[in-house]
Amino acid sequence: MSESTLREEIVRFGESLFKRGLSGGSSGNISVRLEDGWLMTPTGSSLGNLDPARISKLDDQGRLISGDPPTKEVFLHLAMYGERSGARAIVHLHSTHSVAVSCLPSVDPDNVLPPLTAYYVMKIGRLPLIPYYRPGDKALGDAIRGKARQHSAVLLANHGPVVAGKSLEAAVNATEELEETARLYLLLQAHNPRVLTEEQIADLLRHFPPD
Ligand SMILES: [Zn+2]
């Protein structure tokens, strides 16, 4: 896919996420890997109103080479890419239901959400919780690196999800699956839902091996 097509895709998916309330204000950021660097949404930009020509272009060391300065959360993306050679795109949102779950003290930090549906198991699998860090704290990058090799998605405590995919479309779809599963989990809080069994999960992973 050409760089100009990838720029258009970032704009298209950004607008889609914004319009559906998954990325309010100037929160959330999207990146795509190029052969020799990355495209990244600019700092302070709204995903609902991106300009393809102003998207930040970084070289393979993460230095800005054209466009506006990148999101201040650029290091989250680079930490994830550094551990996942097959990742072509990353989506990071402050989407409401995922953030809500990230604030619950009762969740298992090694596997935040239960296996409620097959698609959640296939697209996300086990989701680790990364402890809270102040915005911009580079130690958050190290914490992500510690989990990213085993997991294509992580949830930052009191902050939001970071999700990698083989394409931008795959990363967006997985992020939405996570958000919807977080919403289901919250809806089911007062209940005692049936979740997929170990056997059902093993069967799914046999038929649909994760990335
Ligand atoms: Zn963030």
Average pLDDT, stretch 20-48?
95
To the nearest whole number, what is the mean pLDDT of the chain?
Answer: 95
Mind listing the pLDDT tens digit for each residue in 72-91?
999 999 999 999 999 999 99
132 DSSP assignment: P
Question: 198 C-alpha vs ligand 1 centroid, how far in Å?
Answer: 33
The residues carrying an active-site annotation are 73, 119
Question: 193 C-alpha vs ligand 1 centroid, how far in Å?
Answer: 30
Residues 6+ apart with CB under 8 A from 53: 7, 67
Question: 119 C-alpha vs ligand 1 centroid, how far in Å?
Answer: 25
Mind listing the pLDDT tens digit for each residue in 7-32?
999 999 999 999 999 998 889 999 99
Closest CA to 123 of 78, 169, 158, 156: 169
Let me know: does 157 contact 130? Beta carbons within 8 Å: yes
Measured in degrees and rounded to the nearest 5, phi and psi for residue 139 equal -65, -25
Place 144 in a pLDDT band, splitting at 50, 70 and 90: very high
Tokens of 8: 């258009």
